[in-house]
């Protein structure tokens, strides 16, 4: 199920069904059962409440053990947002890191379009062991990199999952030398969502004010926000 289709489904559920019905456990239970294959339903349905009491180890274990249908797809990115990044990468850039890289789909596309970039990937999940880029596992709240270490930093479909959003944004900006790309869903808040999200950005200003980069571009592309902040 690709990103464009899931955004259409989300729009229908969030915008066409009355919230008094849409955001109830009884209504959403069958969707959770399907999306998570009937496993750990209590944990995932109560995620938004429980996650704030998780230790760093708990948080890491949750994502490493997560088994949902969304994990089967190569990427959460839609093509419009991928093109936004590809077409706007600084041609003088020499290094790129994808924070929350997942399976590395975005890096593989960037490698084809911008082969000059030395590639790094960072994620909280355990590596699969066959990544064609330099992989680092860790927590975004404390990135193990130097100030301005990477010309280009990408962070796609990740900030909506972060507990300490302000600290994580600070870290992303700290390691960026030239360009920071962020992609996140244009999504209103509901307690029961099939995506482990804790941050919601229903309008552009909510996102741009959270990132606080003076020189920026932010576009709505097929149901997602595509943000580019420049530092030089």
Q: How far is CA 137 from CA 71, 74, 104, in A?
A: 18, 19, 13
Alpha helices (H) in 75-122, listed in sequence order: 79-88, 105-113
**Residue of 35, 29, 37 whose CA lies nearest to 9:** 35
Return the CATH number at 13. 3.40.50.150
Note whether 85 and 224 are within 8 A (CB): no
For 112-142, write each residue's pLDDT tens digit. Answer: 999 999 999 999 988 877 888 999 999 999 9
What pTM does this model have? 0.94
More confident of the two residues 67 and 1: 67
**Averaged confidence pLDDT in the chain:** 93
What is residue 127's DSSP assignment?
P
Would you call 46 helix, strand, or coil by DSSP? coil
Residue 67's domain comprises 1-232
Number of structural domains (the chain) is 1
Q: What is the dihedral of CA 213, 219, 224, 230, to 10 degrees?
A: -30
Q: What is the mean pLDDT of residues 163-171?
A: 97
Local confidence band at 208 (pLDDT 50, 70, 90 cut-offs): very high
Local confidence band at 6 (pLDDT 50, 70, 90 cut-offs): confident
Q: Around Cβ 34, how many Cβ atoms within 10 Å?
A: 12
Checking if the pLDDT of 232 tops 90, the result is no
For 33-76, write each residue's pLDDT tens digit. Answer: 999 999 999 999 999 999 999 998 999 999 988 888 877 777 88
């Amino acid at each position: 199920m690709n990103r464009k289709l899931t955004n259409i489904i989300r729009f229908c559920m969030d915008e066409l069904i009355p919230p008094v019905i849409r955001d109830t456990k009884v209504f959403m239970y069958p969707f959770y059962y399907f999306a998570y294959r009937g496993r750990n339903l209590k944990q995932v349905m109560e995620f938004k409440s429980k996650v704030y009491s998780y230790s760093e180890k708990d948080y890491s274990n949750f994502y490493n053990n997560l088994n949902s249908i969304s994990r089967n797809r190569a990427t959460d990115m839609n093509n419009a947002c991928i093109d936004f990044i590809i077409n706007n990468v600084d041609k003088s850039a020499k290094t790129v890191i994808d924070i929350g890289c997942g399976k590395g789909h975005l890096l593989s596309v960037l490698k084809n379009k911008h082969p000059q970039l030395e590639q790094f990937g960072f994620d909280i999940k355990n590596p699969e062991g066959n990544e064609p880029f330099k992989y680092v596992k860790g927590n975004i709240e404390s990135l193990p990199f130097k100030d301005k270490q990477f010309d280009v930093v990408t962070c796609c479909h990740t900030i909506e999952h972060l507990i300490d959003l302000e600290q994580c944004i600070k870290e992303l900006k700290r390691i960026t030398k030239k360009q920071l790309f962020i992609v996140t869903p244009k999504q209103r808040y509901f307690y029961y969502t099939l995506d482990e999200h804790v941050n919601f950005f229903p309008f552009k200003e909510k996102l741009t004010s959270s990132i606080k980069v003076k020189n920026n571009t932010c576009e709505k592309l097929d149901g997602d926000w595509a943000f580019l902040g420049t530092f030089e």
